Amino acid sequence: MATHMAEPAAGGADAAVEHLTAEDRVWLLRAMLMMRGLEERAMSLYRQGRVPGSFYDGYGQEAVSAGAAFAMGPQDRLCILHRDLAAHLIRGVTPSRILSQYMGRAAGITAGRDGNVHFGDRNLGCVGMVSMLPDMMLVAAGMAMAFKLRGERRCAMTWFGDGSTSRGDFHEAMNWAGVQKLPVVFVLENNQYAYSTPVDKQYAVDPVERAAAYGFVGVTVDGNDVEAMFDAARAARERALAGDGPTLIEAVTMRMHGHAAHDDMKYVPKEQVEEWRKRDPIERQEERLRAVGVDIDALRASVKAEIDAAAEEALAGPMPDPGTATDGVFCTGEAEPLGDGQAPWSGFH
């Protein structure tokens, strides 16, 4: 099977517009603005000592999760990575629950049992990641396997980074999905660095080419173009639902902040950061929408107001009761499978 290597953003935005209403395009921008705003707020809470542990964000990578998750249906299932907060927002996780999660509060998605973006709301069709990357590729492949066995028209999607492509689970999942021709979409979020290790120490061949080696399609997409990301994911989902197997989407982007809050990123050349700053995904989408008359200032103001209210609500919430620390290790009732998430794309309505 030939690997299709799309040029970054080649026709992406134009092609996407066919499938996006004006409201959808605003939705995408709103999800990215909300992700950035929430992470900035969480960072300031971290500096105030209200976020325990460390803090990780996806500044500059907002388009990867917003665009890809937007193409998924309510019955599709997602395993979301730590720089992909927008995917949670699109599935319907509320900002106050996210800020509660960062602060380890009882109202957080994991009720304080896990931190930062290590969460998935099971009622919204999401499984939270673990730190061993990319373990969730296999979990997503397993969901897709079940869909295929049951003859259901659904797919699974997961995200992972460039560093993940070195680990065995990447290869086991790619191979498994290829052999069984599973309805799964693998989003490789190539942000150029795995902690401090640049991609030239991670792989000798662009990992998108590996898709062909495992018998399915690999595409490279401008990961800083939210509409191009959406369109690549939409096409991958269609392929999956048509029974044509998995897709590897390599979203080329850049990690604009350190690995975590403590990391000053001295190992990244300044010019590289400056170059990528010109390709900010939010500014690009704002420019597009401003050109068609969207009031960006009003949108930004409404996002900020929502974050202010969310922060107030989260800060007022209690910490978890220490007496519950040993609860819930085992399920003692019926095993309830994942529920459906929200799917705001107009294509589903």
Partner 1 sequence: MPTLTYLQAISAALRDELRADQRVLLMGEDIGVFGGAFKVTDGFVEEFGTDRVMDTPLAESGIIGTAIGAAVVGMRPVCEMQFSDFISCGFDQLVNVAGKMHYRQGLAVPITVRLPSGGGFSGGPFHSQNPEAWFMHSPGIKVVAPSTAEDAKGLLHSAIHDPNPVCYMEHKHLYRRVKGEVPSGVFETPFTARVARPGSDLVVIAYGAMVSVALEATEDLDGAAVEVLDLRSLVPLDEEAILDAVQRCSKVVIVDEANATCAAGAQVAALIAEKGFESLDGPVVRVATPDVPIPFSPPLEQAVLPGVDRVREACRELLAY
Residues at the contact surface with partner 1, assessed by CB under 8 A: 77, 109-110, 113-114, 118-122, 127-128, 130-132, 135-147, 149, 156, 168-169, 172-173, 175-176, 179, 328-338
CB 241 → partner 1: shortest distance, Å? 16
Active site (annotated) includes residue 210 = no
Q: Which of 255, 257, 279, 288 is catalytic?
A: 255
Return the bridge partners of 194, or none. Answer: 197
- Residue 47, burial from CB neighbour count under 10 angstroms (0-12, 13-18, 19+): exposed
Choose between 168 and 293: whose C-beta lies nearer to partner 1.
Answer: 168
Q: Which of 19, 50, 113, 259 is catalytic?
A: 259
Given a contact cutoff of 8 angstroms between Cβ atoms, the answer to whether 64 and 253 are in contact is: yes
CB 334 → partner 1: shortest distance, Å? 6
CB 196 → partner 1: shortest distance, Å? 23
CB 49 → partner 1: shortest distance, Å? 24
Choose between 8 and 320: whose C-beta lies nearer to partner 1.
Answer: 320
Q: Cis bond leading into 344, ω under 30°?
A: no
Active site (annotated) includes residue 259 = yes
Q: At which residue do the structure tokens 């050109």 appear?
A: 291
Active site (annotated) includes residue 46 = no
Return the bridge partners of 300, or none. Answer: none
Choose between 132 and 309: whose C-beta lies nearer to partner 1.
Answer: 132
- Residue 124, burial from CB neighbour count under 10 angstroms (0-12, 13-18, 19+): buried
Distance CA 176, CA 137 (A): 10
Residue from 315, 320, 312 nearest 49 by CA: 315
Residue from 60, 81, 252 nearest 158 by CA: 81
CB 100 → partner 1: shortest distance, Å? 15
Beta strands of 172-246 (E only): which ranges? 184-190, 193-194, 197-198, 217-222
Choose between 144 and 229: whose C-beta lies nearer to partner 1.
Answer: 144
CB 187 → partner 1: shortest distance, Å? 16
Distance CA 121, CA 126 (A): 5
Q: Which of 47, 153, 195, 267 is catalytic?
A: 267
Calculate Rg over the CA atoms of the chain: 19
Distance CA 248, CA 187 (A): 6
Choose between 11 and 339: whose C-beta lies nearer to partner 1.
Answer: 339
Give me the helices (H) in the chain, please: 12-19, 22-47, 62-70, 85-91, 95-102, 135-150, 168-180, 210-213, 226-241, 270-277, 281-291, 296-316
Choose between 263 and 340: whose C-beta lies nearer to partner 1.
Answer: 340
Active-site residue list: 255, 259, 267
